[in-house]
Amino acid sequence: QGRALVSMCPLLLCAVNGLQARTFGVWTLLSSVIRCLCAIDIRNRTLYHITLFTFFLALAHFLSEVFIYHTAALTIGVMAPLMVASFSILGMLIGLQYLEVEALSQNKKKN
């Protein structure tokens, strides 16, 4: 009976169940909230680092799905989040330099 059930269910349709889909949805919502909060308070270094980490996690997740687990193909649907994560990491690393310079200049003003 188990084999019959497996043969009726194509691999791609059975690869994700409802729990996994909802977990990914909650992760996406959490990431967007963190990113919005960082956009509001861009000078908060801790929040900036957490936001940067969310982009690294997203990049690692999609790369692992394509190259390690082979559960996704390099289509536009996968390339879009890979590009967003990559460009966001690059932009945030550049912005981090300005954040560090600003923190140093504020410390000099205090002394």
Under DSSP, the state recorded for 52 is H
d(CA 76, CA 92): 24
Residue in 88, 100, 90, 94 with CA at minimum distance from that of residue 54: 88
d(CA 43, CA 48): 7
Total-model pTM: 0.80
Could you give the residue ranges of the DSSP H alpha helices within the chain? 2-8, 11-14, 18-40, 45-67, 76-110
Per-residue pLDDT in tens (0 to 9) along the chain, 111 residues: 444 444 455 555 566 788 988 999 999 999 999 999 999 999 999 999 999 999 999 999 999 999 999 989 999 999 999 999 999 999 999 999 998 888 888 878 877
